[in-house]
Amino acid sequence: MNEIQFETPDLLRHLEAMDEAELDTLSFGVIRMDRGGIVTAYNSTESQIAGLRREQALGKEFFIQVAPCANNYMVAQRYLDAPELDEFVDYVFTYIMRPTPVKLRLLQSAGSARYLIVQLATA
């Protein structure tokens, strides 16, 4: 699975086929949400980046209870605006108020889960 990278084309199809253990092998953060924004998977890389344990995120409304810093038109709103979504966004997360530059990839398609893919930005 290590050949799958942050920029891999067709990443959504790969992610849809992975279980939680496989998601944990990825070198970038993965948050899987249902259509209501509830976190259904939170991989270990994302847990390290955010400083948040998996169980603190699972079952929560991601953009309200876990990462309200992304609850705006630049990130959360994009999922509502575009049913077919594969976009790269340069962003700053505020994990425990720490400014953390990241690269995001927003993924969803009709019938799929929602994915927010996170990679730390290099300086």
Write out the residues near another protein by the rule CB under 8 A.
Answer: 55-56, 68-72, 74, 90-94, 96-99, 101, 121
Helices (H), 2-121: 11-16, 20-23, 44-50, 54-57, 76-81
- Give 68 or 83: the residue with its C-beta nearer to another protein: 68
Of 15 and 57, the one with the shorter C-beta distance to another protein is 57
Query: Whole-number minimum distance, CB 58 to another protein, in Å?
Result: 11
Q: To which H or E segment does residue 92 belong? A: strand 85-95
The least distance separating another protein from the CB of residue 44, rounded to whole angstroms, comes to 19
User: Is 88 in a helix, a strand, or coil?
Assistant: strand
